[in-house]
Amino acid sequence: MLKTRITEILGIRYPILQGGMAWITGWQMAAAVCEAGGLGTIAAATMEPQELIEGIKKIREVTEMPFAINIPLRLPTARRAVEIAVGEQVPVIVSSAGDPLLYAEKIKRQGIKLFQVAFSVDMVRRCNQSGVDGIIAMGAEGGGNISRAEISTLVLVREVVNETDLPVVAAGGICDGKGLAAALALGAEGIQMGTGFLATREATVHERYKQAILDAIDTDTVVTGRTTGLQFRVRKNSLSEKVLGMEREGRSREEIDSFTIGSLKEAAVKGDTDWGSLMMGQVACMIRDIRPVSEMLDHIVSSAIDEIRALGRYIS
Ligand SMILES: Cc1cc2nc3c(=O)[nH]c(=O)nc-3n(C[C@H](O)[C@H](O)[C@H](O)COP(=O)(O)O)c2cc1C
């Protein structure tokens, strides 16, 4: 078994967090992860308040394990989502895309565990001041919204570990035991995965989206939004080509946003893999089958332990 400050603080069996994914990770997916030994996360980003309240109620009905609510702080839905999560006394909040100082005091006063996603070291300094319980260092290999500087996980995790005494979770480009073992070697005490969880039986994402992950090769993802400052890693398709074309023409962020608004829902819920936003990480190229969550997590942890033991062969 692997025991780290992450398993201890969160009270979970495996040091594995399921990343919140807007339109995709509701209570069903999160509950499956909690029951399998990881930390399941409900993504609040695109939920109406009532849907979030219902989701919290439902997850509590089906699991007694701790779970998290992910709240991207830059979105207009954030304030209400924080109020709901605090009012409902959820076990964990994972804040992302914004300043952790905004709500940290309110959250911590209620005894709720708070983790913040960091793309760079500036954010780590904010985390150190804000009383968060841990930092999720997400590198640019990851799917969805990524950092402007596009710092890779290999560099970012080490940099973050050097800047804080808080436990660090590595995210971006991890889907297996070798990835978990590597993250631990870098000084992280757990991993967060997004893309890997999309390729599971329990993932409530359209089947065509899952297939697009299975079919992806290493050169299939691309970063859009470099000219507008809101970068996303997605699988190449007609939408990504169109957006990159608009960027080359120098179109404004407003024009591009108005063209892409709702496009993740089109892909994730309606299965439009051509004109929907197919957010996924580079690691999609290593995912070749759809598995039950519990099988995937058991396998990741047991193979990480094997990997760590096997590394002893290099010591003479
Ligand atoms: C489809 C998709 C949607 C995502 N939505 C969110 C979100 O709503 N909030 C957030 O903090 N991160 C979001 N992410 C990032 C994930 O939570 C996670 O950190 C990331 O996927 C890890 O990298 P990986 O894809 O290489 O595993 C999303 C990622 C994907 C692939």
Same domain, 175 and 289: yes
For ligand 1, atom 19, which residue shows the shortest CA distance?
Answer: 19
- Please give the chain's pLDDT, 316 residues, in tens: 899 999 999 999 999 999 999 999 999 999 999 999 999 999 999 999 999 999 999 999 999 999 999 999 999 999 999 999 999 999 999 999 999 999 999 999 999 999 999 999 999 999 999 999 999 999 999 999 999 999 999 999 999 999 999 999 999 999 999 999 999 999 999 999 999 999 999 999 999 999 999 999 999 999 999 999 999 999 999 999 999 999 999 999 999 999 999 999 999 999 999 999 999 999 999 999 999 999 999 999 999 999 999 999 999 9
Beta strands in the chain (DSSP E): 16-18, 40-43, 67-72, 92-96, 113-118, 134-138, 144-145, 168-171, 190-193, 221-224, 232-235
Residue-wise DSSP of 141-171: TSSEE--SS---HHHHHHHHHHH-SS-EEEE
170 lies in some domain: yes
* Closest atom of ligand 1 to CA, residue 282: 26
What are phi and psi for residue 190, nearest 5 degrees?
180, 175
> How many angstroms separate the alpha carbon of residue 146 from the centre of ligand 1?
9
Same domain, 99 and 235: no
Q: Is 281 in the pocket of ligand 1 (CB under 6 A)?
A: yes
Same domain, 76 and 126: yes
Cα(270)–Cα(278) distance, integer angstroms? 12
Same domain, 184 and 67: yes
> How many angstroms separate the alpha carbon of residue 310 from the centre of ligand 1?
31
314 lies in some domain: no
315 lies in some domain: no
Q: Is 139 in the pocket of ligand 1 (CB under 6 A)?
A: no
Same domain, 89 and 231: no
Kindly give, in sequence order, each residue whose CB lies less than 8 Å from that of residue 276, ignoring residues fewer than 6 positions away. 237, 239, 263, 264, 265, 266, 267, 268, 270
> How many angstroms separate the alpha carbon of residue 95 from the centre of ligand 1?
12
* Closest atom of ligand 1 to CA, residue 18: 17
* Closest atom of ligand 1 to CA, residue 141: 26
Cα(114)–Cα(16) distance, integer angstroms? 16
139 lies in some domain: yes
The predicted structure's pLDDT at residue 114? 98
Q: Is 19 in the pocket of ligand 1 (CB under 6 A)?
A: yes
**How many domains is the chain built from?**
2
Same domain, 81 and 123: yes
* Separation of first and last alpha carbons in the chain: 26
225 lies in some domain: yes
Same domain, 32 and 125: yes
* Share in percent of the chain as helix, strand, coil (round to 5): 45, 15, 40
Q: Which helix (H) or strand (E) holds 174?
A: none
Cα(131)–Cα(306) distance, integer angstroms? 35
- Whose structure tokens read 């290593």? 286
313 lies in some domain: no
Q: Is 42 in the pocket of ligand 1 (CB under 6 A)?
A: no
Same domain, 303 and 239: no
Cα(1)–Cα(198) distance, integer angstroms? 25
245 lies in some domain: yes
CATH code for position 120: 3.20.20.70
Same domain, 98 and 128: yes
Same domain, 121 and 159: yes
* Closest atom of ligand 1 to CA, residue 96: 11
> How many angstroms separate the alpha carbon of residue 132 from the centre of ligand 1?
20
150 lies in some domain: yes
Domain that holds residue 176: 12-205+284-308
Same domain, 99 and 189: yes
Strand ranges across the sheet with 232-235: 144-145, 232-235, 221-224
Q: Is 297 in the pocket of ligand 1 (CB under 6 A)?
A: no
Same domain, 48 and 193: yes
* Per-residue tokens: 124: 């780590």
DSSP state of 205: S
Cα(15)–Cα(200) distance, integer angstroms? 18
* Per-residue tokens: 156: 């970012």
